[in-house]
Amino acid sequence: MSSMKTLENLFEETIRDIYYAEKKITKELPKMAKKATSPELKAGFEKHLKETEGHVERLEKIFAMMDKAPRGKTCPAIDGIAEEAKEIIENAADENVLDAGLIAAAQAVEHYEIARYGTLACWAKELGMNDAAKLLEATLKEEKATDMALTRIAESGVNDQALAA
Ligand code: FE
Ligand code: FE
């Protein structure tokens, strides 16, 4: 980690963290969409993959605003969540249980992103980077909507079917 003396340093490091995470998510979501058995869940993952590609682009705009080349920094949190998702995919012996597990893994990802973007949007405003704050808030809104959509899918049948498995 480069030395962090200022809030600006911390902001930049955290942008690198979420940039790494978003790129990782663009690789994980297609795998999750492929494994999901509920058509609604599959479509939800595919929709969020497109949004996630937009999140990467927004972060690249923020790097440009800071006159920095886009560069990620390994985020052990997202690597761990992805590792757990992989375990669920490998070990679920019933397709409804698999879907319930995939939703749980995806919600862990969204909650991580919500935490990061909430903080980053707040810091951007603090730093007077209002254009960056707007981009971060736009992504935050999509992460929250995705989290709610996942809850809806879980409650509209996936959990009941997993219970019956
Ligand atoms: Fe995202
Ligand atoms: Fe997301």
Between CA 12 and CA 165 the distance in angstroms is 46
Q: How far is the CA of 129 from the centre of ligand 2 (A)?
A: 23
Q: Which domains does the chain have, with CATH numbers?
A: 7-164 (1.20.1260.10)
pLDDT score of 133: 98
Q: How far is the CA of 113 from the centre of ligand 2 (A)?
A: 6
- Quick one: three-class SS letters along 96-156? HHHHHHHHHHHHHHHHHHHHHHHHHHHHHHHCCCHHHHHHHHHHHHHHHHHHHHHHHHHHH
pLDDT score of 164: 80
pLDDT score of 4: 77
Per residue of the chain (165 residues), give pLDDT as tens. 557 789 999 999 999 999 999 999 999 999 999 999 999 999 999 999 999 999 999 999 999 999 999 999 999 999 999 999 999 989 988 988 999 999 999 999 999 999 999 999 999 999 999 999 999 999 999 999 999 999 999 999 877 777 887
Do 124 and 130 contact (CB within 8 A), yes or no?
A: yes
pLDDT score of 158: 78
Q: How far is the CA of 143 from the centre of ligand 1 (A)?
A: 6
Q: How far is the CA of 141 from the centre of ligand 2 (A)?
A: 10
